[in-house]
Structure 1
Amino acid sequence: MDIVGFTGHGASAETAVAAVAGERARGSAPDVAPGSVPERPPETVALGRAARELALRRGEFELAAQLGHIRTTVAASGGRRVAARREVEWREIERLRSADGFPDVLRERVRTVGTAEGADLLAISPGRFTRLAKAGYLTPVKFYLNRYRAVVWLYLADELRTFAAEEAALLAGRFPRTLTAGRDPDEDVRPRNWRGRRIGHLLHLSEDPWERAAITGSVLDPVQRAELVPDPYERAYLGRLEPALAHGRSDSDAARAAMRPLLLADHPDEIRWHRASLAALLDEARRARPAPRPDPGEPLRRGSGKGLLTRLRLRKERGREDTHVPAPAS
């Protein structure tokens, strides 16, 4: 709120502060100290501050942004828009805080539940819930690894309530033949559905063609990416733009091994879809701008890296020099 607008019409500074405090109570103005004139809010704020202003935990905020409940914009740095960085406009925060039921309604829209709580919400057994999820009727929105490195799928409570209202026939009695006919009873489509959902969320947030190509290619294994992107500079550029599909701790070999099957496309139809999408997005990206390359006049210096193989090679070469004995002069 602009204080000049108040004082310019004969109102006192105390009146202005009181008015802003009233708007703060309604969720549309920042906190101010008693007796002081508040500063004009910034046009945009970082994601961390936006989460605090909206009384959301980090995970809740990230999920709300992914689902489109919170509109984010691409951040600018030095006059250049950086696709990997995002921020929130202050007017978006004001819009959300002025909504009825804030912040409880917003929190409920991003509340997630596991299998047990989800089954209770649908009034069915956990076994039936898992069977519906494995068959693709319930799509997880995220997952995490528990202390035993087992995958725990999470679902939106709001979506489960909608499913219960629209698919009541699947919640009781025998499963319809269409659910079981022609399907492998052990097939689990939860990872595939989660990947598709996650890729869709990330593509919705991005407008940069190279970043969109990196998002799509992130679920293909390195061999397939090398086949589709033979240029090493383009592959390196896509690697720098590649997003983190899953959040959480994966700092151990066991955790990475448990997560790897969840992050890579494994079904033939899924692989074909992402390969075709990556090829189309690469054509679009190349038309927009080329991938960055080193200066043609810049010499390539061997041995300047700090990788393990480079260090071992240099150590071996130094060892040869130290042990070399010159032949006696004839």
Structure 2
Amino acid sequence: MAVQQCQKRGTAVAAVPFARAARELELKPREFELAVQLGLVRTVSAGPGGRRRVAREEIDRHVAGPGFPEALRTRVWVVGTSEGAELMGISPARFGRLARAGCFAPVRFYVNRYRAVVWHYLATDLVDFADASPELLTGRTPAALRDALEEREDRRARGWRARRLDQLLALTDDPWERAAATASVLGPEQLADAVPDPYERARVSELRPELSAVRADTQAVRVVVERVTLAADPEEIAWYRKQLTDALARARAACPVTGPEGYAVRVTAREEPSAQEARPAPEPAVGLRALWGRLRGRR
């Protein structure tokens, strides 16, 4: 059946699969995926091992909301560097400098045929940044920003990781799932060092979610994707290791794993809507002036 009863905080609710929810919300698959990741469309558990679904009341809430479906589509509108620069009224070069400095974080990426990372940003984020920091859009780049660009590495991947991890943590209250989400930005060596107990590490590894659905068909692409998904800077690694240590302490207190017997109960990782992070299809041909007005009018 397309609609089934799912458990939400102990109460049975009518829920539908992601594909049907996307159709009823008039969102493309990638738009729907992003809406779920951003928490704009809330999901419910279908039980152990089952795919997550969308409650009927959640769909009705959006459908009955003002400006449906354009209001929801606008909130998941993504743009690349050229369109983002045009939207903000600045040059692509200046846009790139602001993005590399971490002024706004990418919301997704893909790897092109030249094995280069192509970033995409939420149009709403760009509008909010332009409203909050108009002085950075014109004139000479402030000295503090120039110094940051010279002293720091490209902050886009770091900003994406932080944003993606926040999305994953918002999906669950389970302490072991939260620890596994935090561990997902650490490489194998850092993980082994941070979680020395083999049974705890096995549980964390089992629950560890995929940060990105980018297809890594070759070793070369896999290396590029890992540069985005795994922390490399010592300061960032130390920060996430501390977060993982704290998360593990909470998980041990809630449900300790003491050996093979304690690990025998299989815990199924949370599932998210699947989508290939391939080159996105062109967005609808809507003028940037109209988009700017729509984004500003949403508040």
Assess same fold via TM > 0.5: yes
Q: Secondary structure at the match of 2:121?
A: strand
Instruction: Work out the CA distance in 2 between the residues paired with 1:241 and 1:220.
Output: 14
CA contact 2:184–2:209 (8 Å) conserved in 1 = yes
Alignment match, 1:64: 35
Deviation at 1:100, TM superposition (A): 1.8
Which of 216, 235, 242 is 2:182 aligned to?
216
Alignment match, 2:158: 192
* Matched residue type, 1:53: E
The answer as to 2:135 corresponding to 1:169 is yes
Which of 37, 44, 55 is 1:89 aligned to?
55
Alignment of 1:43-192 (within 5 A): 43-77=14-48, 85-181=51-147, 183-184=149-150, 187-192=153-158
* Matched residue type, 2:84: G
Deviation at 1:194, TM superposition (A): 0.6
Alignment match, 2:226: 260
Deviation at 1:160, TM superposition (A): 0.8
Deviation at 1:129, TM superposition (A): 0.3
Q: 1:130 to 1:68 in 2, by over 3 A?
A: same
* Matched residue type, 1:255: V
Q: 1:182 to 1:143 in 2, by over 3 A?
A: closer
Alignment of 1:222-237 (within 5 A): 222-237=188-203
Deviation at 1:46, TM superposition (A): 2.1
* Matched residue type, 1:277: Q
Instruction: Work out the CA distance in 2 between the residues paired with 1:178 and 1:277.
Output: 29
Bigger Rg over Cα: 1
Instruction: Work out the CA distance in 2 between the residues paired with 1:149 and 1:182.
Output: 27
| CA deviation vs aligned residue, 1:218-262 (integer Å, no higher than 9, x gap) | 111111111121121211111111111011211211110111111
Which of 257, 280, 284 is 1:291 aligned to?
257
Deviation at 1:147, TM superposition (A): 2.0
Instruction: Work out the CA distance in 2 between the residues paired with 1:194 and 1:161.
Output: 18
Deviation at 1:75, TM superposition (A): 2.5
Instruction: Work out the CA distance in 2 between the residues paired with 1:270 and 1:85.
Output: 33
Alignment match, 1:207: 173
TM norm structure 2: 0.79
Instruction: Work out the CA distance in 2 between the residues paired with 1:114 and 1:183.
Output: 20
Instruction: Work out the CA distance in 1 between the residues paired with 2:24 and 2:149.
Output: 48
Alignment match, 1:271: 237
Deviation at 1:183, TM superposition (A): 4.7
Q: Secondary structure at the match of 1:74?
A: coil
Instruction: Work out the CA distance in 2 between the residues paired with 1:295 and 1:158.
Output: 49
CA contact 1:237–1:292 (8 Å) conserved in 2 = no
Deviation at 1:275, TM superposition (A): 0.4
* Matched residue type, 1:140: P
Q: Secondary structure at the match of 2:46?
A: strand
Instruction: Work out the CA distance in 1 between the residues paired with 2:81 and 2:148.
Output: 26
* Matched residue type, 2:95: F
* Matched residue type, 1:193: G
| CA deviation vs aligned residue, 1:243-294 (integer Å, no higher than 9, x gap) | 1101121121111011111111112221111001100111111111133854
Instruction: Work out the CA distance in 2 between the residues paired with 1:115 and 1:236.
Output: 40
| Segments ≥4 residues shifted beyond 6 Å | none
Alignment match, 1:9: none
Alignment match, 2:284: none
